[in-house]
Protein backbone atom coordinates (compact mmCIF):
# COMPACT_ATOMS: atom_id res chain seq x y z
CA UNK A 1 0.00 0.00 0.00
CA UNK A 2 2.71 2.42 1.01
CA UNK A 3 4.58 1.65 -2.16
CA UNK A 4 1.54 2.37 -4.25
CA UNK A 5 1.22 5.81 -2.74
CA UNK A 6 4.75 6.80 -3.63
CA UNK A 7 4.05 6.43 -7.30
CA UNK A 8 2.23 9.68 -7.64
CA UNK A 9 3.35 13.28 -7.77
CA UNK A 10 7.05 13.83 -7.73
CA UNK A 11 6.64 17.50 -8.02
CA UNK A 12 3.60 19.47 -7.28
CA UNK A 13 4.77 22.92 -8.16
CA UNK A 14 2.00 24.66 -6.29
CA UNK A 15 2.62 22.83 -3.03
CA UNK A 16 4.45 25.69 -1.40
CA UNK A 17 2.25 28.41 -2.78
CA UNK A 18 -1.37 29.02 -1.99
CA UNK A 19 -3.83 26.38 -2.86
CA UNK A 20 -5.04 26.71 -6.41
CA UNK A 21 -8.60 27.92 -6.77
CA UNK A 22 -11.07 25.14 -7.41
CA UNK A 23 -8.78 22.32 -6.27
CA UNK A 24 -10.58 19.37 -4.72
CA UNK A 25 -9.16 16.18 -3.24
CA UNK A 26 -10.66 12.85 -2.27
CA UNK A 27 -9.13 9.70 -0.80
CA UNK A 28 -10.78 6.42 0.12
CA UNK A 29 -10.39 2.65 0.02
CA UNK A 30 -12.08 0.67 -2.75
CA UNK A 31 -11.18 -2.28 -4.95
CA UNK A 32 -8.65 -3.48 -2.38
CA UNK A 33 -6.57 -0.36 -2.71
CA UNK A 34 -6.28 3.28 -1.73
CA UNK A 35 -7.70 5.62 -4.30
CA UNK A 36 -6.93 9.32 -4.41
CA UNK A 37 -8.24 11.92 -6.78
CA UNK A 38 -7.38 15.56 -7.39
CA UNK A 39 -9.49 17.67 -9.69
CA UNK A 40 -9.53 21.35 -10.59
CA UNK A 41 -12.53 23.36 -11.58
CA UNK A 42 -15.88 24.70 -10.50
CA UNK A 43 -17.81 22.19 -8.44
CA UNK A 44 -14.77 19.89 -8.35
CA UNK A 45 -15.69 18.87 -4.79
CA UNK A 46 -19.12 17.58 -5.65
CA UNK A 47 -17.84 15.96 -8.84
CA UNK A 48 -15.30 13.98 -6.80
CA UNK A 49 -18.01 12.88 -4.40
CA UNK A 50 -19.95 11.57 -7.34
CA UNK A 51 -16.82 9.85 -8.68
CA UNK A 52 -16.26 8.16 -5.32
CA UNK A 53 -19.78 6.71 -5.29
CA UNK A 54 -19.43 5.56 -8.88
CA UNK A 55 -16.20 3.75 -8.02
CA UNK A 56 -17.89 2.07 -5.05
CA UNK A 57 -20.77 0.97 -7.26
CA UNK A 58 -18.34 -0.69 -9.63
CA UNK A 59 -16.55 -2.34 -6.73
CA UNK A 60 -19.89 -3.73 -5.55
CA UNK A 61 -20.49 -5.21 -9.00
CA UNK A 62 -17.05 -6.77 -9.46
CA UNK A 63 -16.03 -7.92 -6.01
CA UNK A 64 -15.17 -11.64 -5.84
CA UNK A 65 -16.16 -11.81 -2.17
CA UNK A 66 -19.27 -9.59 -1.91
CA UNK A 67 -22.26 -11.89 -2.11
CA UNK A 68 -24.33 -9.33 -4.02
CA UNK A 69 -21.81 -8.75 -6.78
CA UNK A 70 -22.25 -9.80 -10.40
CA UNK A 71 -18.97 -11.69 -10.26
CA UNK A 72 -20.00 -13.56 -7.12
CA UNK A 73 -23.28 -14.55 -8.82
CA UNK A 74 -21.43 -15.90 -11.88
CA UNK A 75 -18.83 -17.69 -9.73
CA UNK A 76 -21.56 -19.43 -7.75
CA UNK A 77 -23.91 -20.17 -10.64
CA UNK A 78 -22.87 -23.80 -10.97
CA UNK A 79 -22.94 -23.52 -14.75
CA UNK A 80 -26.28 -21.73 -15.12
CA UNK A 81 -26.50 -18.53 -17.16
CA UNK A 82 -26.49 -15.31 -15.11
CA UNK A 83 -27.73 -11.90 -16.21
CA UNK A 84 -25.24 -9.18 -15.30
CA UNK A 85 -25.24 -5.38 -15.44
CA UNK A 86 -24.15 -3.50 -18.56
CA UNK A 87 -20.88 -2.50 -16.88
CA UNK A 88 -20.01 -6.11 -16.05
CA UNK A 89 -20.93 -7.32 -19.52
CA UNK A 90 -18.75 -4.58 -21.00
CA UNK A 91 -15.67 -5.29 -18.89
CA UNK A 92 -16.04 -9.03 -19.49
CA UNK A 93 -16.31 -8.51 -23.20
CA UNK A 94 -13.14 -6.38 -23.10
CA UNK A 95 -11.36 -8.97 -20.92
CA UNK A 96 -12.23 -11.72 -23.41
CA UNK A 97 -10.99 -9.60 -26.30
CA UNK A 98 -7.69 -8.95 -24.51
CA UNK A 99 -7.35 -12.59 -23.50
CA UNK A 100 -7.62 -13.57 -27.16
CA UNK A 101 -5.26 -10.80 -28.33
CA UNK A 102 -2.62 -11.74 -25.76
CA UNK A 103 -2.98 -15.41 -26.58
CA UNK A 104 -4.23 -16.17 -23.10
CA UNK A 105 -1.45 -14.39 -21.17
CA UNK A 106 -4.33 -12.45 -19.65
CA UNK A 107 -6.94 -14.88 -18.43
CA UNK A 108 -9.93 -13.64 -16.42
CA UNK A 109 -10.60 -17.21 -15.21
CA UNK A 110 -7.27 -17.39 -13.33
CA UNK A 111 -8.95 -17.14 -9.91
CA UNK A 112 -8.72 -20.84 -8.87
CA UNK A 113 -4.94 -20.59 -9.19
CA UNK A 114 -4.68 -17.21 -7.48
CA UNK A 115 -6.61 -18.78 -4.64
CA UNK A 116 -4.60 -22.05 -4.59
CA UNK A 117 -1.43 -20.01 -4.08
CA UNK A 118 -3.11 -18.21 -1.19
CA UNK A 119 -3.21 -14.74 -2.72
CA UNK A 120 -6.88 -14.35 -1.90
CA UNK A 121 -6.52 -15.05 1.82
CA UNK A 122 -2.92 -13.95 2.51
CA UNK A 123 -2.28 -17.55 3.61
CA UNK A 124 0.38 -18.03 0.98
CA UNK A 125 1.83 -21.43 0.23
CA UNK A 126 3.16 -23.53 -2.64
CA UNK A 127 0.39 -25.89 -3.79
CA UNK A 128 1.19 -29.50 -4.72
CA UNK A 129 1.70 -30.29 -8.41
CA UNK A 130 -1.54 -32.27 -8.37
CA UNK A 131 -3.40 -29.27 -7.01
CA UNK A 132 -1.90 -27.01 -9.68
CA UNK A 133 -2.93 -29.44 -12.44
CA UNK A 134 -6.42 -29.67 -10.98
CA UNK A 135 -6.75 -25.87 -10.85
CA UNK A 136 -5.29 -25.48 -14.37
CA UNK A 137 -8.18 -27.58 -15.67
CA UNK A 138 -10.51 -24.87 -14.29
CA UNK A 139 -8.75 -22.06 -16.15
CA UNK A 140 -9.55 -21.13 -19.75
CA UNK A 141 -11.21 -17.95 -20.94
CA UNK A 142 -12.51 -19.71 -24.10
CA UNK A 143 -15.02 -21.51 -21.92
CA UNK A 144 -16.78 -18.30 -20.85
CA UNK A 145 -19.96 -17.68 -22.81
CA UNK A 146 -21.02 -14.07 -23.05
CA UNK A 147 -24.17 -13.18 -24.95
CA UNK A 148 -25.16 -9.57 -24.41
CA UNK A 149 -25.79 -9.41 -20.64
CA UNK A 150 -25.82 -13.16 -20.10
CA UNK A 151 -22.75 -14.91 -18.77
CA UNK A 152 -22.31 -18.63 -18.53
CA UNK A 153 -19.33 -20.22 -16.82
CA UNK A 154 -18.76 -23.96 -16.39
CA UNK A 155 -19.15 -25.25 -12.80
CA UNK A 156 -16.19 -24.59 -10.47
CA UNK A 157 -14.59 -22.06 -12.79
CA UNK A 158 -14.20 -18.58 -11.31
CA UNK A 159 -13.86 -15.09 -12.74
CA UNK A 160 -11.39 -12.54 -11.39
CA UNK A 161 -11.24 -9.05 -12.88
CA UNK A 162 -8.31 -8.07 -10.65
CA UNK A 163 -5.98 -7.55 -13.59
CA UNK A 164 -8.10 -4.90 -15.28
CA UNK A 165 -10.93 -3.77 -12.98
CA UNK A 166 -9.05 -0.78 -11.61
CA UNK A 167 -8.17 0.40 -15.12
CA UNK A 168 -11.75 0.06 -16.23
CA UNK A 169 -13.04 1.86 -13.14
CA UNK A 170 -10.47 4.60 -13.77
CA UNK A 171 -11.81 5.13 -17.29
CA UNK A 172 -15.36 5.34 -15.97
CA UNK A 173 -14.39 7.98 -13.43
CA UNK A 174 -12.29 9.96 -15.91
CA UNK A 175 -15.26 10.05 -18.29
CA UNK A 176 -17.53 11.17 -15.47
CA UNK A 177 -15.15 14.00 -14.55
CA UNK A 178 -14.92 15.09 -18.19
CA UNK A 179 -18.71 15.00 -18.55
CA UNK A 180 -18.92 17.32 -15.54
CA UNK A 181 -16.58 19.80 -17.18
CA UNK A 182 -13.33 18.99 -15.36
CA UNK A 183 -10.37 19.92 -17.58
CA UNK A 184 -7.53 19.02 -15.22
CA UNK A 185 -7.41 16.03 -12.88
CA UNK A 186 -5.30 13.16 -11.64
CA UNK A 187 -6.75 9.91 -10.36
CA UNK A 188 -4.48 7.42 -8.57
CA UNK A 189 -5.98 3.98 -8.12
CA UNK A 190 -3.35 2.28 -6.01
CA UNK A 191 -0.62 3.19 -8.47
CA UNK A 192 -2.69 3.14 -11.65
CA UNK A 193 -2.49 6.79 -12.67
CA UNK A 194 -5.03 8.40 -14.99
CA UNK A 195 -4.98 12.05 -15.95
CA UNK A 196 -7.18 14.62 -17.61
CA UNK A 197 -5.46 17.43 -19.46
CA UNK A 198 -2.42 19.18 -18.03
CA UNK A 199 -1.71 20.39 -14.52
CA UNK A 200 -3.49 23.66 -13.73
CA UNK A 201 -0.22 25.53 -14.33
CA UNK A 202 -0.24 24.29 -17.92
CA UNK A 203 2.66 21.87 -17.42
CA UNK A 204 2.42 18.09 -17.93
CA UNK A 205 1.84 15.88 -14.92
CA UNK A 206 5.13 14.56 -13.58
CA UNK A 207 4.80 11.01 -12.31
CA UNK A 208 7.45 9.27 -10.26
CA UNK A 209 7.58 5.63 -11.37
CA UNK A 210 8.23 3.06 -8.73
CA UNK A 211 11.57 1.26 -8.70
CA UNK A 212 10.69 -2.46 -8.62
CA UNK A 213 13.86 -3.07 -6.59
CA UNK A 214 12.73 -0.75 -3.82
CA UNK A 215 14.94 2.25 -4.62
CA UNK A 216 13.54 5.73 -4.34
CA UNK A 217 12.12 5.90 -7.83
CA UNK A 218 12.91 4.72 -11.28
CA UNK A 219 12.51 8.05 -12.94
CA UNK A 220 9.99 10.65 -13.89
CA UNK A 221 7.44 10.38 -16.65
CA UNK A 222 5.80 13.56 -17.97
CA UNK A 223 2.33 12.97 -19.34
CA UNK A 224 -1.01 14.56 -20.06
CA UNK A 225 -4.39 13.08 -20.84
CA UNK A 226 -3.48 9.44 -20.51
CA UNK A 227 -3.21 6.42 -18.23
CA UNK A 228 -0.04 4.92 -16.77
CA UNK A 229 -0.19 1.48 -15.17
CA UNK A 230 2.59 -0.71 -13.78
CA UNK A 231 2.57 -4.44 -13.05
CA UNK A 232 5.20 -6.62 -11.49
CA UNK A 233 5.65 -9.29 -8.90
CA UNK A 234 7.55 -7.01 -6.52
CA UNK A 235 4.68 -5.72 -4.40
CA UNK A 236 2.33 -8.61 -3.75
CA UNK A 237 4.48 -11.72 -3.27
CA UNK A 238 5.65 -14.25 -0.72
CA UNK A 239 8.81 -16.27 -0.13
CA UNK A 240 8.10 -20.01 -0.34
CA UNK A 241 9.45 -22.74 1.91
CA UNK A 242 11.98 -23.31 -0.88
CA UNK A 243 13.30 -19.76 -0.48
CA UNK A 244 12.01 -18.64 -3.87
CA UNK A 245 9.87 -15.56 -4.43
CA UNK A 246 6.35 -16.10 -5.72
CA UNK A 247 4.28 -13.15 -6.97
CA UNK A 248 0.59 -12.61 -7.59
CA UNK A 249 0.70 -12.64 -11.38
CA UNK A 250 0.21 -16.22 -12.52
CA UNK A 251 1.20 -17.79 -15.82
CA UNK A 252 -2.00 -19.41 -17.12
CA UNK A 253 0.11 -22.00 -19.00
CA UNK A 254 2.14 -23.35 -16.07
CA UNK A 255 -0.13 -22.44 -13.16
CA UNK A 256 2.91 -20.96 -11.38
CA UNK A 257 3.56 -17.35 -10.52
CA UNK A 258 5.37 -15.80 -13.45
CA UNK A 259 9.14 -16.18 -13.36
CA UNK A 260 9.75 -13.38 -15.76
CA UNK A 261 12.93 -11.83 -17.06
CA UNK A 262 11.10 -8.61 -16.22
CA UNK A 263 10.84 -6.89 -12.86
CA UNK A 264 8.12 -4.50 -13.98
CA UNK A 265 6.15 -3.36 -17.00
CA UNK A 266 4.65 0.12 -17.21
CA UNK A 267 2.10 0.73 -19.95
CA UNK A 268 1.13 4.19 -21.16
CA UNK A 269 -2.00 4.56 -23.30
CA UNK A 270 -5.14 6.63 -23.72
CA UNK A 271 -7.27 4.31 -21.63
CA UNK A 272 -6.76 2.71 -18.24
CA UNK A 273 -8.43 -0.56 -19.15
CA UNK A 274 -5.95 -1.20 -21.96
CA UNK A 275 -3.00 -0.21 -19.75
CA UNK A 276 -4.15 -2.45 -16.93
CA UNK A 277 -4.89 -5.49 -19.11
CA UNK A 278 -1.60 -5.07 -20.97
CA UNK A 279 0.67 -4.41 -18.00
CA UNK A 280 -0.39 -7.72 -16.47
CA UNK A 281 -0.21 -9.70 -19.69
CA UNK A 282 3.08 -8.22 -20.96
CA UNK A 283 4.58 -9.15 -17.61
CA UNK A 284 3.43 -12.73 -18.20
CA UNK A 285 4.90 -12.67 -21.73
CA UNK A 286 8.38 -11.57 -20.68
CA UNK A 287 10.68 -9.15 -22.50
CA UNK A 288 10.97 -10.59 -26.02
CA UNK A 289 7.32 -11.36 -26.45
CA UNK A 290 6.35 -8.02 -24.93
CA UNK A 291 8.55 -6.15 -27.42
CA UNK A 292 7.14 -8.16 -30.35
CA UNK A 293 3.63 -7.50 -29.14
CA UNK A 294 4.33 -3.75 -28.97
CA UNK A 295 5.75 -3.78 -32.50
CA UNK A 296 2.49 -5.24 -33.79
CA UNK A 297 0.35 -2.49 -32.29
CA UNK A 298 0.09 1.26 -32.37
CA UNK A 299 -2.05 1.86 -29.30
CA UNK A 300 0.38 1.90 -26.38
CA UNK A 301 3.91 2.65 -25.21
CA UNK A 302 5.80 0.89 -22.44
CA UNK A 303 8.70 1.03 -20.01
CA UNK A 304 10.32 -2.30 -19.15
CA UNK A 305 12.64 -2.99 -16.24
CA UNK A 306 14.43 -6.32 -16.53
CA UNK A 307 15.12 -8.59 -13.60
CA UNK A 308 18.75 -7.45 -13.82
CA UNK A 309 17.72 -3.80 -13.55
CA UNK A 310 18.05 -2.59 -17.15
CA UNK A 311 15.50 -0.02 -18.23
CA UNK A 312 14.11 0.16 -21.75
CA UNK A 313 11.44 2.43 -23.16
CA UNK A 314 9.58 2.37 -26.45
CA UNK A 315 10.38 5.17 -28.84
CA UNK A 316 7.03 6.93 -28.58
CA UNK A 317 7.55 7.75 -24.90
CA UNK A 318 11.34 7.99 -24.72
CA UNK A 319 11.41 11.81 -24.70
CA UNK A 320 8.96 11.96 -21.83
CA UNK A 321 10.93 9.72 -19.47
CA UNK A 322 13.92 10.87 -17.41
CA UNK A 323 15.58 8.14 -15.39
CA UNK A 324 16.71 8.84 -11.84
CA UNK A 325 20.47 9.31 -11.35
CA UNK A 326 20.98 9.60 -15.12
CA UNK A 327 20.74 5.87 -15.41
CA UNK A 328 21.15 4.44 -18.90
CA UNK A 329 17.97 3.74 -20.82
CA UNK A 330 17.65 1.63 -23.98
CA UNK A 331 15.16 2.82 -26.56
CA UNK A 332 13.06 0.15 -28.25
CA UNK A 333 12.37 1.06 -31.90
CA UNK A 334 9.68 -0.26 -34.21
CA distance 264 to 211: 9
Instruction: Compute the least distance from the CB of residue 162 to Mg ion, in Å.
Output: 8
Contacts with ligand ADP in 245-264 (CB under 6 A)? 248-250, 252
Does position 269 interact with ligand ADP (CB under 6 A)? The reply is no
- CA-closest candidate to residue 280, choices 141, 146, 161, 157: 161
Q: Is 200 in the site for ligand ADP (CB under 6 A)?
A: no
Nearest-approach distance from CB 321 to ligand ADP, in angstroms: 20
Kindly tell me which of 104 and 200 has the beta carbon lying closer to ligand ADP.
Answer: 104
If the CB atoms of residues 233 and 280 are measured against Mg ion, the closer one turns out to be: 280
Q: Does 31 bind Mg ion (CB under 5 A)?
A: no
Q: Is 280 in the site for Mg ion (CB under 5 A)?
A: yes
Q: Which does 212 bind (CB under 5 to 8 A by kind): Mg ion, ligand ADP, none?
A: none
Please tell me the distance from the alpha carbon of residue 71 to that of residue 77, in angstroms, as a whole number.
10
Rounded to whole angstroms, how far apart are CA atoms 88 and 68?
A: 13
Q: Taking contact as CB under 6 A, which single stretch among the options 21-29, 121-129, 278-286, 291-299 is the one that binds ligand ADP?
A: 278-286
Q: Which range, of 8-16, 49-57, 122-130, 158-166, touches ligand ADP by CB under 6 A?
A: 158-166
In the DSSP assignment, the letter for residue 70 is H
Q: Which stretch binds Mg ion (CB under 5 A): 28-36, 143-151, 241-249, 273-281?
A: 273-281
Cα–Cα distances (Å) from 14 to 17, 84, 184, 193, in that order, read: 5, 44, 14, 19
Helices (H), the chain: 2-6, 44-62, 70-75, 86-101, 111-116, 129-136, 165-179, 272-285, 287-295
Beta strands in the chain (DSSP E): 23-30, 33-40, 82-83, 145-147, 150-152, 184-189, 192-196, 205-209, 219-223, 227-232, 237-239, 245-247, 262-269, 301-306, 311-314, 321-323, 329-332
Closest CB to ligand ADP among 44 and 249? 249
Residue 106 binding: pick among Mg ion, ligand ADP, none (C-beta 5-8 Å cut-off by kind): ligand ADP
Using CB under 6 A as the binding rule, whether residue 212 contacts ligand ADP is answered as no
Q: By the criterion CB under 5 A, which residues form the site for Mg ion?
A: 163, 276, 279-280
Residues near ligand ADP, by CB under 6 A: 106-108, 110, 114, 119, 160, 162-163, 166, 231, 248-250, 252, 276, 279-280, 284
Amino acid sequence: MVAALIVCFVSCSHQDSEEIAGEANAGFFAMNTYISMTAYGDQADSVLEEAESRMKELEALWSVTEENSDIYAVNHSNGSPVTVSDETAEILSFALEMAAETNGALDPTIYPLVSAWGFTTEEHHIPSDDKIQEMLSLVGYEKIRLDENQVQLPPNMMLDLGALGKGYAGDTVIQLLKDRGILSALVDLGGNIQTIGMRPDGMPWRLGLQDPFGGENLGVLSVSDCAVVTSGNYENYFIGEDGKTYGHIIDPVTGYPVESDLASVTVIAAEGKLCDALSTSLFVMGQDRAVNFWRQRQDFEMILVTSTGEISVTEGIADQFSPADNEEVDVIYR
